[in-house]
Amino acid sequence: MIGGIGAAAYLPVLLVLGFSPRTTDIGYQPRQPVEFSHAVHVGQLGMDCRSCHTTVDKAAFAAIPPTQSCTNCHAPGGEGPSILADSRELEPVHESASTGEPIDWVKVHDMAGFAYFDHAAHVNKGIGCVTCHGRVDRMDVVYQAETMSMAWCIECHRDPSQHLRPLDRVTDMAWTPEDDGTTQEALGRKLMEQYNIQDSQYMTNCSLCHR
Ligand code: HEC
Ligand code: HEC
Ligand code: HEC
Ligand code: HEC
Ligand code: HEC
């Protein structure tokens, strides 16, 4: 039987807590306190996701960068390299650097607390950011690209082979298997073995995500 005692006892709680309206909001795109653009910083400047989201391949949570990672390039008042020093859009960044108060970024994705997700577990098994977050390198303002619902998670967990990629391509938004002279089918089959991916019974067990 799938789940066992733990999940069975958990089920009523989940049913009461469930149907959170936020979770299937494809396109949810809150306004941010700074007009920070991934299209500029990733798409044009070519920065890697991990240079800002530094914990994404080490921990469950993908860190939102502290102001310090902005002031490396946008330092306040002559304290270092200051790209677009007089930009009004950068005033909140300079203010945050001076006061030490973090920038109040608005969360885009907000999965319910009763489901467990882990970035490192995915990124280190060859699931790319683009698979779950879409073409972030083209977004001036980040929006939610996928439902992030249980059905969506499980569809991949039944057969991840269609989504596996080489580990050095996980942050590459434009990569296709054809770039490496292969097809997703052939590559997926190879990587399922190489990464030692668990079978579908394990991957769809309730207690994997509801702990
Ligand atoms: C220069 C630093 C920087 C780089 C590089 C960067 N990000 Fe971000 N990212 C941010 C900041 C700041 C935020 C919070 C503001 C926002 O949502 O735009 C953010 C937010 C996000 C969010 C939304 C988080 C939430 O609230 O749910 C996602 C998803 C994301 N980034 C993915 C990526 C991906 C994928 C890449 C690489 C293709 C990337 N980021 C590269 C700085 C960066
Ligand atoms: C590696 C250097 C670098 C880092 C780090 C960096 N930026 Fe930038 N940023 C740039 C450059 C270069 C531009 C100008 C791009 C252009 O318009 O040609 C820019 C432009 C901007 C603009 C647009 C300003 C305007 O008036 O058009 C904003 C806002 C901004 N960055 C915010 C941020 C924030 C917030 C962070 C930290 C999460 C950050 N940047 C990190 C290099 C950087
Ligand atoms: C298998 C799908 C998946 C992959 C792959 C993935 N993410 Fe996420 N990401 C999520 C989910 C789900 C959330 C919401 C988590 C929550 O609310 O607890 C999220 C949230 C985030 C956030 C907000 C902070 C947080 O951890 O909640 C950032 C930033 C982010 N992702 C960046 C990235 C980057 C960068 C990559 C690639 C290196 C990446 N993600 C790969 C599914 C994924
Ligand atoms: C595109 C494919 C894909 C999607 C979408 C996806 N996953 Fe996964 N997930 C994987 C793969 C691959 C693994 C690694 C399996 C392994 O290590 O054998 C994994 C592993 C996990 C693990 C086990 C982590 C550990 O090591 O304990 C959890 C928990 C998990 N996923 C939760 C989720 C949740 C929750 C969602 C939806 C919000 C989700 N996943 C969406 C492919 C996916
Ligand atoms: C791969 C991860 C994963 C697995 C496996 C999984 N769930 Fe879920 N479950 C989720 C996510 C993600 C949500 C939605 C969280 C949210 O609303 O943000 C969810 C939501 C729920 C809800 C709330 C109602 C709803 O549909 O939103 C119930 C009840 C539930 N799960 C029960 C189960 C049961 C029973 C099993 C085993 C048969 C199971 N789950 C297996 C990830 C998973």
**Whose atoms come closest to the Cα of 20: which ligand?**
5
C-alpha pair distances (Å), 12 with each of 9, 17, 18, 88, 154:
7, 9, 10, 51, 20
C-alpha pair distances (Å), 105 with each of 9, 35, 71, 90, 153:
36, 11, 16, 14, 26
Q: What pLDDT is attached to residue 141?
A: 96
Please tell me if the CB atom of residue 62 comes closer than 6 angstroms to any atom of ligand 1. no
- CA distance linking residue 144 with residue 122, whole number of Å: 18
Q: What pLDDT is attached to residue 77?
A: 82
- Ligand 4 centroid – CA 153 distance (Å): 7
- Ligand 4 centroid – CA 188 distance (Å): 16
How high is the mean pLDDT of the chain?
A: 90
For a substitution probing ligand 4, which of 123, 203, 204 has the most ligand atoms within 8 Å of its CB? 203
Which is nearest to 132 in space by CA: 159, 167, 171, 166?
171
Q: What pLDDT is attached to residue 24?
A: 59
Cβ within 8 Å of residue 24, ≥6 positions away: 147, 148, 149
Task: List the chain domain ranges.
Answer: 4-17+25-64+107-209, 65-104
Q: What pLDDT is attached to residue 11?
A: 52
Residue type, 115: A
171-208 per-position pLDDT tens digit: 999 999 999 999 999 999 999 999 999 999 999 999 99
Q: What pLDDT is attached to residue 80?
A: 81
Please tell me if the CB atom of residue 120 comes closer than 6 angstroms to any atom of ligand 5. no
- CA distance linking residue 127 with residue 175, whole number of Å: 12
**Whose atoms come closest to the Cα of 184: which ligand?**
4
Low-confidence ranges of the chain (pLDDT < 70): 1-24
